[in-house]
Amino acid sequence: MNRTEKEAVIDRLHAKMAKAKVAILAEPKGLNVATVTELRRKCREAQVEYRIVKNTLAIRAAKGTDLEQLSEKFTGPTALVMSYDDVVAPAKILADFAKDRENFSLRIAVVQGKVIDAAGILSLAKLPGLPELRSRIAGVIAQPATKLVRMLAAPGQQLAQVLNARKEQLEKQAS
């Protein structure tokens, strides 16, 4: 890779690092192609970017971003996992992936400017994700409306039950 290609890679990586809400550094060792392909597929489905980075280029790209705090952690084989929307999704994917594999370890992460260790990443993975939080909020918003509809419908139902009971009473008297 010549100098202009390296500069282009650094610029693209810097732009991605600057807009990432969460970036996790992991250490993939001895993973076969099929395993890495499966991990990449899961990341793509969750709109999470997974890439193996050259440490020297990553350190240069991290300058001026939140990831600059992790410069000393770019050593050895390094996987950089970034998300631009959901903070929890990459942690969930990597925690699930790492629990079955001893040759894949989580190092450190930056979540919205704050550095967290591997234990923090695992704690983050236990939180509900963005889609789940959205559905919970929708449920909370819809709950008062549902209660209002039930309250408005209740008098009509009660009136119908009273009329039905009176009808049955009149039918019994007639027979």
Res 12: pLDDT: 93
Q: What is the pLDDT of residue 135?
A: 82
CATH number at residue 52: 3.30.70.1730
Q: What is the rounded distance in angstroms from the CA atom of residue 143 to the CA atom of residue 67?
A: 41
Q: What confidence tier does 99 reach under pLDDT thresholds 50, 70, 90?
A: confident
Helix (H) or strand (E) run with residue 107 in it: strand 104-111
Report the number of distinct structural domains present in the chain: 2
116 and 166 both lie in a single domain: no
Tokens representing 83?
């998300």
Q: Is residue 117 domain-shared with residue 135, that is, in the same domain? A: no
The phi and psi torsions of 117 (rounded to 5 degrees) equal -90, -175
Specify whether 26 is located in the same domain as 99: yes
Residue 31 reports pLDDT greater than 90: no
Rounded CA-CA distance 96/116 in Å is 18
Grouping H, G, I as helix, E, B as strand and the rest as coil, residue 102 is: coil
Q: Clarify whether residues 156 and 81 are in a common domain.
A: no
Same domain for 103 and 146?
Answer: no
In terms of domains, do 69 and 23 share one?
yes
- The answer on 116 and 75 residing in a single domain is yes
Q: Are 113 and 134 part of one and the same domain?
A: no
Burial of 120 (0-12, 13-18, 19+ CB in 10 A): middle
Q: Is the pLDDT of residue 63 over 80?
A: yes
Confidence category of residue 14, pLDDT binned at 50, 70, 90: very high
Sign of CA dihedral 170, 173, 174, 175: positive
Q: In terms of domains, do 169 and 93 share one?
A: no
pLDDT tier for residue 166 given thresholds of 50, 70 and 90: confident
What is the domain range of residue 173? 130-175
Read off the pLDDT band of 16 (50, 70, 90).
Answer: very high
Percentage of the chain beyond pLDDT 90 is 37
The pLDDT assigned to 150 comes to 77
Predicted TM-score (pTM) of the model is: 0.72
- 152 shares a domain with 101: no
Same domain, yes or no, for 97 and 67?
yes
**pLDDT on residue 51:** 92
Q: Are residues 144 and 100 in the same domain?
A: no
The runs of H, that is alpha helices, within the chain are 3-19, 33-45, 55-62, 89-99, 118-125, 130-174
Q: How confident is the model at residue 158 (pLDDT cuts 50, 70, 90)?
A: confident
Across 57-66, 93-102, 124-133, the highest mean pLDDT is recorded for: 57-66
